[in-house]
Every structure is written in C-alpha cells, then in structure tokens.
Amino acid sequence: MSKYDIIVLGSGPGGYVTAIRASQLGFKTAVIEKENLGGVCLNWGCIPTKALLKSAQVFEYLKHAEDYGLSVKDADKDFTAVVKRSRGVAEGMSNGVKFLMKKNKIDVIEGFGKLKPGKKVDVDGKEYSADHIIVATGARSRELPSLPQDGKKVIGYREAMSLKEQPKKMIVVGSGAIGVEFAYFYNSMGTEVTVVEYLPNVVPVEDEDVSKQLERSFKKSGIKVMTSSEVTKVDTSGDGVKATVKTKKGEEVLEADIILSAVGIKTNIENIGLEDVGIVVDRDKILVNDYYQTNIPGYYAIGDVTPGQALAHVASAEGILCVEKIAGMHVEALDYGNIPGCTYCTPEIASVGLTEKQAKEQGYDIKVGKFPFSASGKASAGGNKDGFVKVIFDAKYGEWLGCHMIGAGVTDMIAEAVLGRKLETTGHEVLKAVHPHPTMSEAVMEAVADAYDEVIHL
C-alpha cells in the first residue's frame, strides 16, 4: 500500500491547487482523478466557456465594424471551428496542470477513488493511505424531474459547449451564470434564444438594478426573456423539442431544436465512501468546520461539495487554507461575505458584498452611488456604454457594504472592491484614491462620489 501525507480526491481548481500548496509545504502528496486533470472548470466549465464567449465577442465586433469606421465584408462564423478552438484551449490548460503536478512532484493516480475507514482510499481495487485525505470532487449539472437530460435534445453545460451543429432555436432554462453565458454565446452566433427563469428577475442572486439592466441588454440583442416562468414538461418525440411553460398569464408551448438545462448543480458525493467512513452530509453538502475538517479526524472537504459558494476561486482558497492549517500555520477563516461573483456574458456582471435590498433588510442606514458607463469616456471610446457601477456604503461609518457592476470588463474591475472591503476601506478613502483616466475603473470612484454627493461627470 502506497503511503502519503496528503491525498486529494479530485483535481479541479480546488483539488489541484490544494495539492500544489501541500507539496510546497513539504507534504508527500497525491491526487486522484477519474477523468481529466483540472476538473470541470478547466475542461468543461470556466476556461472553455470563456473561449467560446471570446469568439462570440470577436464576431460581434466584426458584425458592428461600421460603428468603428471600419469595413468588413461577409463576416461569418464557423461554428465547428469555434468549438474546436474552445476544446483546444481546455486541452492546453489541462496539460498545464499536468506540468504543474510533475514540477511539484505530486503523484497523479488515475481512477475512481472511494474513501475507506482508517484514512485509506480505494482506487479501482488498489488501496492508498494518508495522514490527511481531502475530498474535492466538485459538482455536475443538476437535473429537474420535469426536465430530464438525454444529452441530445435536453442538454447540460457539457454538451452545450461541444455541439456538433449549431441549433437554430434554443431554450435556456435558468438564468444564473451558466444560463446567461450560453444564452449570450448562442444568440451572438445566430441562434434564436429564449431564456426561461422561475424567479422574477434574471441572474436572481444579483442586485435588482443589475438584473434589470441585463434583461434590457439581452432584449436589445434579440434574446427573449421569460421571468416568473417554469418549464413543467418537455416533449422530445418529434424532430425538435416542445416545452410547456407555465407563466403568470397561463401556459405557453415553446418549440426549439434544443433545451439547455442550467438550473444549478448537484454535488459529486455519491459512491465515494462517505457512508462507509461516517462522514456527515446535510442537504447534499459535506459538513465541515472553518478549516474544512469533517466530523471524522483525518478527512476534509473543500469546494462545491461543501456549503460555501460553488465558485472555482472559492475552492482554491479553501484548499490552500485547509493544508496551511494542517501544516500548523496561523490562518484566518475565509470571509464568505467578501467573495466576488462574476458572470461573463455581454455585458459582464461582477459583484461583492450586500445588495441594496440586503443592506436595507439588515438595518443599515445606507448611502448608494451609481455611475453609468454612458458617462464614461473610456466606455464611449470603446463602444461599450451599456451598464454601470453601483456602490453601497454604511452612512454612519463609511463601511463599503457592497459593489455591483455590469458592463464591459467589469470582471477585471471587481477586485478593487474586494481588496477595499478586506482592508476595511471607507468611502472617503476610495474617493480620494486617484483613479487613472480614461479607464473603465474610474467609474468606481465616480460611483462613490455619487454616493457622497460629489460626483463630477454626471
């Protein structure tokens, strides 16, 4: 039996980052992976979807070249080539993780791992042991009883990024990050897209102003948006698919080539031995303490399988914190109230902290500032005037309670708010920190100025 200090089950952005940090700290480390190094994020999620979205964005620029004083004739897309490029990017990233495993002297064990009592893992009949075993098995597309996925006419995100042919009509069920990103991609490629959302607003976890702006932008680009609506049944017996949608006005039947189910995720915790070891699970999540220890000593869990936000950067941060705690380092528990969320459709969405509604519900006396990109010189020059930056401060102490952005490049701007909140920055300090001009990021300063009645360019 091979013996390690640390074994990580799963090699997604939680697992492989955890393994590398463990190796850096001097632990003899192994990673167990049943499919591809890098997990869903690198192979079927974060990275290849961004490659698809970049192709869509470039195509949009070509279609609107005249807006920039340019002439491009007969601009068209090759859907197969777009998908091929995305898969190539994913393969390159996965190979990069292979290199990192080798560089950090981490053993990669291929196969399906199952936890055993006594700090052991069985991988397809072969046992391995470790002083510490970390579960990082991630999640997959969730299926609804009314929307069973057949992988052909009713698909999840994996099939959506590797279709052989572009559908003429698509229904996207669910308007979280996955749903709206694919809605934007396929619409940009020329597919007729309808988004069906159960809740009253698209991207329902976001500030309501952001949700309303995205709905306006989507409708302007030709995407049909149906909120407060529910797909109650599907019929795949014909050439395409028919979806019965329950709305406030009654039932409506939509026809399409394909339905993309983007209604959330399901954790990968079945058949990995949790019951055999006695690890406690609640509502599809492994219960852990602030340092990701389960109720059984020597067993840990990070990432999507735990109750925190199901985001790649959260999984990475949790894994690093977990192994640093095992190494005896002084670590602070992760602040889940200061985790940025990003959505990469066009316009992009980025947010951190409380929404305006949440701040009011928690009893804060607040100052709210908002700066539209239509008043931004950089946004006007770039032809990307949709969207805004919205900031929320505690009126009494100046604490930065929340920041919400929608517009071009905002996923690269949100880190300012995350860092500012981490350092307990006040609104006055943000306002007096000189921001470069012309940039999209100066809209943050302008929004803060609006909150304090000092805005110049609005």
Divide the 458 residues of the chain into consecutive groups of 10 and give the mean pLDDT of each group.
93 95 97 89 86 94 92 91 93 92 96 96 96 96 89 92 94 96 96 97 97 96 96 92 94 96 94 96 96 98 95 96 98 96 96 97 97 96 95 96 97 97 95 95 96 89
Handedness of CA 191, 72, 382, 93 (dihedral sign): positive
User: Which CATH superfamily does the domain covering 347-451 fall into?
Assistant: FAD/NAD-linked reductase, C-terminal dimerisation domain (3.30.390.30)
In angstroms, the CA 42 to CA 193 distance is 26
* Residue 42 confidence (pLDDT): 82
Q: Where are the domains of the chain?
A: 2-140+266-336, 154-263, 347-451
In angstroms, the CA 57 to CA 50 distance is 10
Query: What is the biggest distance separating any 2 CA atoms in the chain, rounded to whole angstroms?
Result: 69
In angstroms, the CA 267 to CA 315 distance is 13
Strand ordering across the sheet containing 400-407:
341-343, 348-353, 400-407, 388-394, 366-372
In angstroms, the CA 41 to CA 15 distance is 11
Q: Is the peptide bond before 347 cis (omega within 30 degrees of 0)?
A: yes
In angstroms, the CA 396 to CA 305 distance is 38
Please state which of the four CATH numbers 1.25.40.10, 3.50.50.60, 3.40.50.720, 3.40.50.300 is assigned to the domain occupying 154-263: 3.50.50.60
CATH placement of domain 2-140+266-336: 3.50.50.60
* Residue 36 confidence (pLDDT): 85
pTM of the model: 0.94
- The region that residue 352 occupies, defined by phi over 0 for left and psi between -120 and 50 for alpha, beta otherwise, is beta
In angstroms, the CA 209 to CA 407 distance is 13
- The catalytically annotated residue of 313, 404, 435, 437 is 437
Q: CA 333 from chain center: how many Å?
A: 22
* Residue 46 confidence (pLDDT): 85
- CB contact burial 382-396 (16+ within 10 A = b; e otherwise): eebbbbbbbbbbbee
Only one residue has tokens 């046992």, namely 127
Instruction: Please determine whether the domains at 154-263 and 347-451 fall in the same fold group of CATH.
Output: no
Give Cα separations from 414 to 172, 368, 375, 437, 451 (angstroms).
27, 17, 19, 18, 18
For every residue of the chain, which 3-state class applies, written as one string? CEEEEEEEECCCCCHHHHHHHHHHCCCCEEEEECCCCCHHHHHHCHHHHHHHHHHHHHHHHHHCHHHHCCCCCCCCCCHHHHHHHHHHHHHHHHHHHHHHHHHCCCEEEECCEEEECCCEEEECCEEEEEEEEEECCCEEECCECCECCCCCCEECHHHHCCCCCCCCEEEEECCCHHHHHHHHHHHHHCCEEEEECCCCCCCCCCCHHHHHHHHHHHHHCCCEEECCCEEEEEECCCCCEEEEEEECCEEEEEEECEEEECCCEEECCCCCCHHHHCCCEECCEECCCCCCECCCCCEEECHHHCCCCCCHHHHHHHHHHHHHHHCCCCCCCCCHHHCCEEECCCCEEEEEECCHHHHHHCCCCEEEEEEEHHHCHHHHHHCCCCCEEEEEEECCCCEEEEEEEEECCHHHCCHHHHHHHHCCCEHHHHHHCCCCCCCCCHHHHHHHHHHCCCCCCC
In angstroms, the CA 424 to CA 252 distance is 50
* Active-site residue, 404 included: no
* Residue 1 confidence (pLDDT): 66
Contact 286, 269 (CB under 8 A): yes
Token pair belonging to 416: 């300012």
Contact 59, 77 (CB under 8 A): yes
* Residue 204 confidence (pLDDT): 96
Q: Is the peptide bond before 438 cis (omega within 30 degrees of 0)?
A: yes
In angstroms, the CA 27 to CA 327 distance is 9
* Residue 422 confidence (pLDDT): 97
* Residue 74 confidence (pLDDT): 87
Contact 338, 421 (CB under 8 A): yes
Write phi, then psi, for 189 (nearest 5 degrees): -75, -10
